Structure 1
Amino acid sequence: MLKHLVFEGTHRVIVKGVALRFFLRADGVWAPATDTDFQRAYELALFDPDALRKDVLCPNARRVEHTTVEGWFWSNGCHSAGLCTFDDRSPEECVGMARIAGGAAP
């Protein structure tokens, strides 16, 4: 039987023994975020930020996602980015992600 788990308002959650931590990039620094804030920012990144400012929903062609053994990174290709780290890592411990977050190709 499939059991759905919902975590609300938590920066660190344990899923099947793996600690996940959520961060959003603000002013050039990774800051802890709740899972719900992280999800909301990710969902907004799915849409073109310029079009959203005009209340128009269009897919975001600049959006980027990348996963490594350290975590999962996404960016709206403009000013918004998020990082979900695996195994209780901090963003600084995700060396493989640093290259991606800095704009380098995977």
Structure 2
Amino acid sequence: MITHLIFEGTHRVVVRGVALRFFRWTDDAWAPVTDTEFQQAYEIALFDPQALAKDVLRPNARRVERATTEGWFWWDGGHSAGLCTFDDRSPAECAGMTLIMDEASP
């Protein structure tokens, strides 16, 4: 039997004993956001922002996604980025993600 879990409006979500925390890059710092804000920004980042401005859906070739045992990072190639941390970590506690985020920093 498959069980689907839906969480809405929460910054910290526990799934099968693992605490996930959601952050967005704003004003040169990571800020906590809800899971729904995180997902909405991620879905927008899938599409080319210049094409979207012209009401055209085109994949975003500049988008970057990386994952480690500490978290999952995405960047739209421009000004929007998100970080989902695992095991209740803050962004500062994700040392393994530092190189990835520095290489693709917004």
Matches within 5 A, 1:60-71: 60-71=60-71
Deviation string for 1:67-95 (max 9, x for gaps)? 00000000001110000000000000011
For 2:43, the equivalent position in structure 1 comes to: 43
Q: Distance in 1 between matches of 2:29 and 2:51?
A: 26
Give the SS at the match of 1:102. helix
TM-score, normalised by the number of residues in structure 1: 0.95
Q: Aligned with 1:89: secondary structure?
A: coil
Residue in structure 2 matched with residue 100 of structure 1 by the alignment: 100
Match of 2:81 in 1: 81
Equivalent-residue separation in structure 2 for 1:80 and 1:98 (angstroms): 17
Aligned positions of 1:15-34 closer than 5 A? 15-34=15-34
The TM-score normalised by the length of structure 2 is: 0.95
The whole-number CA distance in structure 2 between the counterparts of 1:2 and 1:24 is: 31
Taking every aligned residue pair, what percent have the same amino acid on both sides? 71
Q: CA RMSD in A?
A: 0.8
Q: Which residue identity is paired with 2:48?
A: D
Q: Which amino acid aligns with 1:5?
A: L
Give the count of matched residue pairs: 104
Structure 1 segments, 4+ long, off by >3 Å, are none
Unaligned runs of 5+ in 1: none
How far apart, in 2, do the equivalents of 1:50 and 1:103 lie? Answer: 22
Distance 1:58 1:33 in 2: 26
**Alpha-carbon separation, structure 2, partners of 1:8 and 1:58:** 28
- Does residue 90 in structure 1 map to residue 78 in structure 2? no
Flag structure 2 segments of 5+ consecutive residues without an equivalent: none
